[in-house]
Amino acid sequence: MDKLKVLISNRQKEIKIPTGIRMLIRRCCHAVLVQEGFEGSAEVSVSFISNEEIRLLNEQYRNKNTPTDVLSFPLGENMKFDVNEDTGAYMLGDIVISAEKAFEQAELYGHTIQREIGFLTVHSMLHLLGYDHEEGGLEALKMREKEEFVLDKLGIARDKSYIV
């Protein structure tokens, strides 16, 4: 991988985003691309939004009228991405994270907000690269293994079960 540009924005006011989260997000995005052997430069955007905004997006794009933790909007298919003509970088897509849900889930699962946001970022980056878990089975298992491998490499491996 050459260069990675991660555009991060906070479009919500409900939750204060802790110091260091932006660097964590950049590290997670980079780690996924390295793990997947991505070649070339890349751009991705990550936005923190409110539960209400993510609920609206979830309803609009997935027909689910409920807030969710994260949504991914890939700009490519089958590893074919649009190219930013100014930079020559592949535009991978957009990730939106509900800050409220991330904090709720960190508490629910008994781990840090850094672990939760790291997981959501890695999960979404894999979606941007074409991985999917909606059908369950082997594809979901493969995606979860990749998530945990990357998070382990970053030093934020899961230390508790996701089963409550």
Domain 4-153, architecture per CATH: 3-Layer(aba) Sandwich (3.40)
Residues 64-81 have pLDDT tens digits of 999 999 999 999 888 899
pTM of the model: 0.92
Taking alpha carbons only, the member of 96, 93, 106 closest to residue 18 is: 106
Q: Is the pLDDT of residue 161 over 90?
A: no
Q: Strands (DSSP E) along the chain, which ranges?
A: 4-10, 42-49, 70-74, 76-77, 80-83, 90-98
CB 67 within 8 A of CB 98: yes
Structure tokens at 94: 């957009």
